[in-house]
Structure 1
């Protein structure tokens, strides 16, 4: 094969995303995805040695990449940090929408006792990007962890709400997200005034 590593990884990822709505997210999913696109299974072991965890991390990074491009293009004129973070998460949900059917499988995977501790770092990277790029946050003290920790909670509660939302253009989810962000702003103000 003459393709570069990144292209091969994307091919395998896209194949996983294509078959996952109809398959279990088990240990065989990557080999099935490789078979689907005529790539030898051995390549998947080299490219994703940690299996499904690594495929999900690559998926997250792929979504992050698209999200950052859109944030940098679409949100340049928004000054309010809260508004920018709100719009960033909305953008992320728009990108994830075509994969909405597989999100419950990802949540189930991370709900397993041996995987649940990996969900936080999985999400942390994306929330850190949103805070740095959209929020302009460069803190390195306790605030660094507080802001990202609170946003991670908001993000996952919004995802769970979004998965059940049948409103037009997910307006109910957007309202929910706005309320959650307003709440953490109030928490931040209270902490700052202590």
Structure 2
């Protein structure tokens, strides 16, 4: 989840950087151009963004998550099925992107081996933001599986959207519906397996083991999406 309040100077530098991203990517040149344009000192900029443009790309993604959460709070989703609420959240997240090329460049950046972990955390963070905004109350292994599944959906949706040239990204909307439909089929199959008495000798012990897994606690670690305890048993 995004931090509660973003330093205004971070936003100032990010806004100054974005016009250059299409040409230079999330690169040192983009970072230096933002510093020059804003007049913020290089030392202060380095304090705000220790890894330069890489941390700017992280902030760009997290600000998108923040905007999505705020938009969801104003939406009336009460008449929608839960799968449609998820689809709506994904569409909002894409619709709120002001610079598609910045996302494209960020996707390439976080595909680099040494930044892949950052990319995975950002994808997970978006999934966590959606589930939390929609009121997820799971406190067991489902907390993890929901976010892991939605992370996979979100990652594939972004890649499809980046190449979508259809009017109003209508093809992406259809792709979202298909991906969520596929996930629902998997969930239906899992329910059938768990409900099969013949498989109970196998599924019973596994379900008991999984039932011992608990969701994170209520104290947030700012470096990890989700909620975490500061001590004691998880």
The answer to whether TM tops 0.5 is: yes
Number of aligned residue pairs: give it: 189
Q: Which has the larger radius of gyration?
A: 2
Matches within 5 A, 1:32-111: 32-96=33-97, 98-111=98-111
Matches within 5 A, 1:135-150: 136-150=135-149
Residue 164 of structure 1 is matched in structure 2 by: 163
Deviates more, 1:154-163 or 1:53-62: 53-62
Pair 1:180 & 2:195 matched? no
More helix by share: 1
The 1:6–1:92 alpha-carbon spacing in structure 2 relative to 1, beyond 3 Å, is: same
Please, what TM-score do these two structures have when normalized by structure 1?
0.89
Structure 1, unaligned stretches of length 5 or more? none
Kindly provide the CA deviation profile for residues 160-191 of structure 1, in whole angstroms up to 9, marking residues without a partner as x.
Answer: 11111111111110000100011111112222
Residue 155 of structure 1 is matched in structure 2 by: 154
The 1:75–1:60 alpha-carbon spacing in structure 2 relative to 1, beyond 3 Å, is: farther
Residue 119 of structure 2 is matched in structure 1 by: 119
Counterpart secondary structure, 2:28:
coil
Cα RMSD, aligned residues only:
1.8
Cα distance in 2 between the residues matched to 1:142 and 1:155: 20
Structure 2, unaligned stretches of length 5 or more? 194-234
Cα distance in 1 between the residues matched to 2:19 and 2:78: 36
1:94: how far off? 0.5
Question: Does the Cα contact within 8 Å between 1:5 and 1:47 map onto a contact in 2?
Answer: no
Please, what TM-score do these two structures have when normalized by structure 2?
0.75
